[in-house]
Amino acid sequence: MPPRLFTLLAAAAAALLVPSCASLAGPAPAPAGQGAALRAIHVSYAAAVEALKEALEEDDLLLARSTTRQLQGRLNRELDSAISLPQARTRTDNVAALTLSGDLPSRESVEAALIALERFENIIDGRERLRAVSLRIELRRRPGEEMVEAWLTGESAWTEALTIRPFAASILIGRLHIDKGGFEVNWTESVVLEDAVELSLPPGAAASRLLAALPIQVPVGAMATRMSVTLVCTGGELEQAGEPFPAREISVAEGERTDIAGWIPTGLVEPQRLVQLVEQGRGATDVLLECAIRIAPSRREEALDGLGRAVQTLPPEAVGPVVPAIRWLMGVRGVDGFGRDERDWKELLVERYDRRVESGELEGVPAIR
């Protein structure tokens, strides 16, 4: 068992098994308004609640579920023996005195803890369902038009139908234009989605809904434009059979597409073609960049692996012409990365290659420097 998990389990167990203990400050007042139930929880439950919160912060749903069940059992037992504050004020026995002094939790305090526990369970239920859902943005070109449709697409492995509702949703559109000299222009735009976003997912199936239609833009002089679309929201909720569950974080994979200028061939290029040109020193910047642009997105990692081997024996100045192609393959934008410094890019590719070889992701021999 990992040390961190053992520590959390121990803390949760200790908090749940400790008997109700005295609070030097006496019973906590029960303020009105949102969050009142949580603030009115007796001090003897505080450690268990903190352990539960910590498990949720680390997204350890197994530990969080176990902690709630143990705390639920303890609260149910103590609810039977606890007396209310009005009752305590009319009695003169030790139980009443201990309740009024805060040494024992009152019935109100136990009920407040039960209410808070229900909220925690609702959060756990929501996260379990959200884990069974994968969401992404798909960019689909309209046939015969210079337009792209952004679709929110989801797949669910949950056994019942779910509805996902992101709150205050907008889309962030990024465009990277690049010309034959490797000069880059970045542009971003945020578009608020006026209509509420809602995606209903059948059990064990996929579904999509249209978010927006966007123009394709490849400026005059640009070789290609890479467009990315990301869904931004302030959390949201899930619904199952009319029952809502909170979803504080909704993760949606961004959509990406590349549009190439009309004077460039559209056929795909094998990654090895780019690697061979670099090894042989036969490619100018525009030739190498055209190859990189025409490599399928799913094979960009393969191209970077080959370049990591190829540049090991090249002098830094020979890496200069390929830098724009490397930046394109790595998805680097704007001021990210190292600009045009050939030595930095060579070092970055070699370190990446060594790291993948050492981790077993790539077969090869680490670089000799």
CB 68 within 8 A of CB 118: no
Provide the H-helix boundaries in 132-283: 271-280
Beta strands in the chain (DSSP E): 133-141, 147-156, 162-166, 170-179, 184-192, 199-201, 206-215, 222-232, 236-240, 243-247, 252-253, 255-260
Condensed to tens digits (0 to 9), the pLDDT of residues 3-42 reads 444 344 344 444 433 333 323 233 334 444 434 444 478 9
Task: Classify residue 40 by its DSSP letter.
Answer: T
CB 40 within 8 A of CB 30: yes
CB 80 within 8 A of CB 111: no
What's the length of the chain?
369
What is the distance between the alpha carbons of residues 167 and 250, in angstroms, rounded to a whole number?
A: 10
The pLDDT of residue 333 is 67
CB 70 within 8 A of CB 148: no
Residues of the chain with pLDDT under 50: 1-39, 369
What is the distance between the alpha carbons of residues 284 and 192, in angstroms, rounded to a whole number?
A: 42
CA 307 to chain centroid = 30
Q: Sort strands 184-192 and 170-179 into parallel, antiparallel or unpaired.
A: antiparallel
SS3 65: helix
Residues of the chain with CATH 2.60.40: 133-260
The pLDDT of residue 340 is 64
Contacts of 260 (CB under 8 A, 6+ apart): 218, 223, 224, 266, 293, 294
Dihedral sign, Cα of residue 316, residue 317, residue 322, residue 328:
positive
The pLDDT of residue 226 is 94
* 137 bridge partner residues: 152
Global pTM reads 0.77
CATH 1.20.272 for domain 133-260? no
SS3 131: helix
